[in-house]
Amino acid sequence: MSFAEARELFRDVVDLKHYIPLSTSEKTKNDLLLAINQKEKMILLTGEAGSGKSLLLRNVYEELKTNKKVFFVSNPYLEINSILSLLKSLDINTHQILLLDEAQLLTSEIWENLRIYADRGNVTIVFATHDTDIKKLLEKKHFSTRINYIIPVKKVTLPEMENFIYSKLLKNNLNEIADMFSKKNFKKIYKFTKGSLRATNQLMFKLFDVMDYFYKKDPSRFANNKIDNKYIEIAIMDLKAK
């Protein structure tokens, strides 16, 4: 069994080759693309940590970059001087798109500077930020009337989580491992992850690590090609202990 190979598919990194188009995330992506194509000035992409904002934003960038003038910034806090210099140099007659991930790291002063540039009308700025930071931002009067769209990234449903896990495994020809999962396993996983894709990745990474360990000690444990929920419980306990 290639449990070690399966584990690597769920490493918690932003990697488009592991992007799985789920119905919830695809609707969010389409809503975001619509707002961008309408040349809205400021758009907030919000969601809990681990909801998939970064991967979705990267996916939007890849889709737009061949036909649009678009810039993607993964850490605006570290690159803010470059961003401001870029905005100063933009052609007032050409529509540009700036995708800012982890926007909650920006200071109030930087937010205000970016708002001023957005008001010029030649740039659409998408801020991906934690939903816990939205209330504070909207309390600032100069933002409450200027945010054109607030697009939430919702948690995935249980069937979507199943599809997420199955698709990753099948896409990489790990059909035998995919077939080991039962509805009971998925319910156990979902109860812990609560629809968070990051939590799902973290749990699956740990689960396959646990299974790889026990398989190397005694392959007969998996002779029935099923996954006992005890391995999921071990993985959960290990994650909780950290």
* Res 73 pLDDT > 90: no
**Lowest pLDDT segment from 30-39, 76-85, 120-129, 170-179:** 76-85
CB 112 within 8 A of CB 143: no
Burial class (CB in 10 A: 0-12, 13-18, 19+), 138: middle
* Res 60 pLDDT > 90: yes
Output the six-digit token pair for 165.
């896990």
Q: Which residues contact 231 (CB under 8 A, 6 or more apart)?
A: 207, 210, 211, 214
pLDDT, averaged across the chain = 86
Which of 111, 104, 100, 108 has the alpha carbon at shortest distance from 133? 104
Q: Which residue has the higher pLDDT, 236 or 86?
A: 236
* Confidence (pLDDT) at 88: 74
* Res 113 pLDDT > 60: yes
* Confidence (pLDDT) at 228: 94
Q: State CA 27 to chain mean position distance.
A: 14
* Confidence (pLDDT) at 132: 65
* Confidence (pLDDT) at 138: 60
pLDDT tens string 146-202: 666 788 888 899 999 999 999 999 999 999 999 999 999 999 999 999 999 999 999
**Taking the domains of the chain in order of start, what are their residue ranges?**
3-13+156-241, 23-152
Mean pLDDT over residues 55-66, rounded? 91
* Res 1 pLDDT > 90: no
Which of 51, 41, 66 has the alpha carbon at shortest distance from 14? 51
Q: How would residue 123 be classed by pLDDT, with cut points 50, 70 and 90? A: confident
Q: Is the pTM of this model over 0.75?
A: yes
Pick the CATH number of 23-152 from 3.30.460.80, 3.90.1010.10, 3.40.50.300, 3.90.79.10: 3.40.50.300
* Res 142 pLDDT > 60: no
Mean pLDDT over residues 35-43, rounded? 89
Q: Which residue has the higher pLDDT, 94 or 176?
A: 176
